[in-house]
Structure 1
């Protein structure tokens, strides 16, 4: 089912309804950065939660503020990095894997889509080292998820692997603790 939003444009962005998002923006351009009454999500954050690249692109072209934070103090980048495959994605991948590697190509396609989403946000000027309510940056989450495709993008954009979260742990500490040697190497190289 997902999340329910009090703001119709936020609900439309979350549900990937570009027509409705366009309608709400056309009606009042202030809707672009409106924050939902429940959790403070903006339409951009809603679209990033689900990885809706077309809606993110549409909102960015209309100057949506990439640095607005919700009640958990997260920006759209936090959600873009935290985006995981859905249960349905995994099911399709597993079912289609034996069929001419379609499952593999679906997985690669979803990964590339997420990478494109993060690139769009970085190009739009999102603060790469913004901390959430736990003191975590997008790089913290990318390390926790062992996301070897997003970590180089974040580092290239100037992410600092030494920023500590509220538990006193840096992205580098996470990579060491979880024994992700390739990621640890990438982070050390960026210092």
Structure 2
């Protein structure tokens, strides 16, 4: 088959009577073949990879030798090897998404049940199923047909980039396919090559609608596993950079996404996996006063410490952000907490009068100067 497959990629032009040129052996194994195949099929006949355009006057029939017959058979076999990409099969699959007027169990016209099963279970050299390709090329009729026909395990197949069809549908913001996959009960916890779940991607894209779809209660869906709990939404699952969805939405400064995640049960003090920063630490790093104020109002721990012992106040003072430092101090931040370098926020103020005004050393003063307690 490897030798015969090459004939699908080579194009030869043959001139027939009337000056017409015909491309022979044209075959495409991708969804793009809907647009790539030229011409229209004959009336009443489905198009197939073996169709040839014949001249108006046929030449006398020629008797083929045994070797020529074997070569033609191998060539035909090679063309049909990727038959799911032919226009006849794509058109038949597109028809599956439309209501049937006659028999419900009847296979599409011109497509046998065996061919249908082969198409639905096709996997490309990149690990993409027909559903992956239908999502990528925005062919909802084929995608919805696959979702309706295939079991959940097949709908969760990951390609070579570890993307499921749900990852792609979220990334491309195809809401109808996202909803159909969720109603089918596919897992929302599978991670791609970067460790991102579909919810991570929705937050990265700042797609509020996709996030709402992914956070909806499973009880309202037609899940095949009704015993799943909201914990399966994996709000606290980290990607390979150690970030949860709340971390990502905070880094984007999207208060609507942050509010939606918190209402759905996200931990406001969750630490990212590399340095232990909470969403409040990240908001302080971005000098995002709105996000800092929002998190503090929602109950974020003002003195949460990273793995190195730094609090949000350490970060604000170290970045000489007096406005954010003031918000933290007014929310009760402890100015005397020490990090692993044995530094307090005052130590990091480095003579900045605006910051020192917010960080009094002690109430005890001698000759108008604050007293510093040493070890």
What TM-score bracket applies, with the shorter chain setting the length? 0.7 to 0.9
The gaps in structure 2 that reach 5 residues or longer are: 1-193, 219-229, 364-375
Compute the displacement of 1:51 (Å). 1.2
Query: Which of 214, 220, 227 is 1:24 aligned to?
Result: 214
TM-score, length of structure 2 as denominator length: 0.39
Query: Which residue does 2:357 correspond to in 1?
Result: 185
Shift in Å at residue 140 of structure 1? 0.7
- The Cα of 1:62 is off from its aligned counterpart by 3.0
* Correspondence 1:124 to 2:314: no
Where do 5+ consecutive residues of structure 1 fail to align? 85-113
* Greater RCO, 1 or 2 (C-alpha within 8 Å, sep 6+): 1
Aligned pairs for 1:12-51 (under 5 A) are 12-26=202-216, 29-30=230-231, 31=233, 33-51=235-253
1:77 maps to what in 2? 280
Q: Secondary structure at the match of 1:19?
A: helix
Aligned to 1:136: 310
CA change 1:173–1:139 in 2 (3 A) is: same
Residue 360 of structure 2 aligns to a residue whose secondary structure is: helix
The answer on whether the counterparts of 2:271 and 2:278 sit within 8 Å (CA) in structure 1 is yes
Looking at structure 1, the residues matched to 354 and 362 of structure 2 have their Cα atoms a distance apart, in angstroms, of 13
Moved over 6 A (4+): none
Superposed, 1:143-182 pairs within 5 Å as: 143-175=317-349, 177=350, 179-182=351-354
Q: Matched residues in 2 for 1:136 and 1:14: separation?
A: 27
> CA 1:15 to 1:161, structure 2 compared with 1: closer, same or farther past 3 Å?
farther
**How far does residue 7 in structure 1 lie from its aligned partner after superposition?**
1.8
Instruction: Give the TM-score taking structure 1 as reference length.
Output: 0.73
Distance 1:189 1:117 in 2: 28
Query: 1:40: Cα distance to partner?
Result: 3.4
For residues 165 and 141 of structure 1, what CA distance do their matches in structure 2 show? 11
SS of residue paired to 1:188: coil
Query: Structure 1 CA distance, aligned partners of 2:293 and 2:362?
Result: 18
Deviation of 1:39 after TM superposition, in Å, equals: 3.5
Query: Whose radius of gyration is greater, 1 or 2?
Result: 2
Q: Give me the CA root mean square deviation.
A: 2.1
CA apart distance, 1:45: 1.1
Hey, what's the Cα distance between the residues in 2 that align with 1:116 and 1:20?
24
Paired positions, count: 157
